[in-house]
Amino acid sequence: MKKIGILGFQGAVVEHERQIQALGHEPVIVKYPEQLDVIDAIILPGGESTTMGKILNRTGLMAPLREKIVGGLPVWGTCAGMILLAKDLVNDSVTHLGVMDISVRRNAYGSQIDSFSTKQVIPAVDSKEIELVFIRAPYITKVEDGVKVLCELDGHVVAAEERNMLVTSFHPELTDDVTFLKYFVSKIK
């Protein structure tokens, strides 16, 4: 059983928590730096990246979290979490972690009403189709060497990984399919 942290300030925290429990692992809602020492991995959920960035700074979690990720802590950023992880934000300046070698466009698919869902096979993850839910989603405009593209949609990269870092524009936790979470867990040593 793995202890999987979820950055717990706001956003889709409960949804990740439920999926982690459904897979038989232990969710830990992370709000304080000390908690980083007891988890095997961490999920940065969807929500509002500007708010999460500000709270990360205010709580003193930004620097230790960045250090843990650079040191190899497995991390999965969904949507706003992807924005927090990207080194380069092409259309915005958000206070963020800036650790993964990708360029990201915030709100790339438009506003809340432009949210949508589609189905696709992500071969690295599973041979069956999974549902991809996009909510005011970002996409990746550029990946540097060392970043593996996992999924593209209409020519835009919407899932990728680099070493211990995994990012998705979409929200697997808002479906009742735990396939993507299983994939993340398989990356935890």
Ligand X SMILES: NC(=O)CC[C@H](N)C(=O)O
Is 151 marked active-site? no
Counting contacts by CB under 6 A, is residue 47 touching ligand X?
yes
| Cβ neighbour number for residue 5 with a 10 Å cutoff | 26
Q: Token pair of 161, please? A: 């990984």
Counting contacts by CB under 6 A, is residue 106 touching ligand X?
yes
- Residue matched to tokens 């009742």: 176
d(CA 99, CA 171): 21
Counting contacts by CB under 6 A, is residue 168 touching ligand X?
no
The catalytic position among 17, 79, 151, 162 is: 79
Start-to-end Cα distance in the chain: 11
Stretch that binds ligand X, among 2-10, 40-48, 57-65, 144-152 (CB under 6 A): 40-48
Minimum distance, C-beta of residue 61 to ligand X, in the bound complex (Å): 17
Q: Which CB sits closer to ligand X, 19 or 49?
A: 49
Minimum distance, C-beta of residue 101 to ligand X, in the bound complex (Å): 20
Is 173 marked active-site? yes
The catalytic position among 16, 25, 96, 171 is: 171
Is 25 marked active-site? no
Burial code (b: 16+ CB inside 10 Å, e: under 16) for 82-105 equals bbbbbeebeeeebebbebbbbbbb
Minimum distance, C-beta of residue 83 to ligand X, in the bound complex (Å): 5
Name residues contacting ligand X, limited to 78-97 (CB under 6 A): 79-80, 83
Q: Token pair of 5, please? A: 């942290």
Single out the residue of 10, 95, 103, 107 in contact with ligand X (rule: CB under 6 A).
107
The DSSP element (H or E) to which 132 belongs, if any, is strand 129-134
User: Could you tell me how many helices (H) and strands (E) the chain has, helices first?
Assistant: 5, 12
Query: SS3 for 124?
Result: coil
Residue ranges of the binding site: 47-49, 106, 135-136
> Which residues are annotated as part of the binding site for L-glutamine?
47-49, 106, 135-136
Residues that bind ligand X (CB under 6 A): 46-49, 79-80, 83, 106-107, 135-136
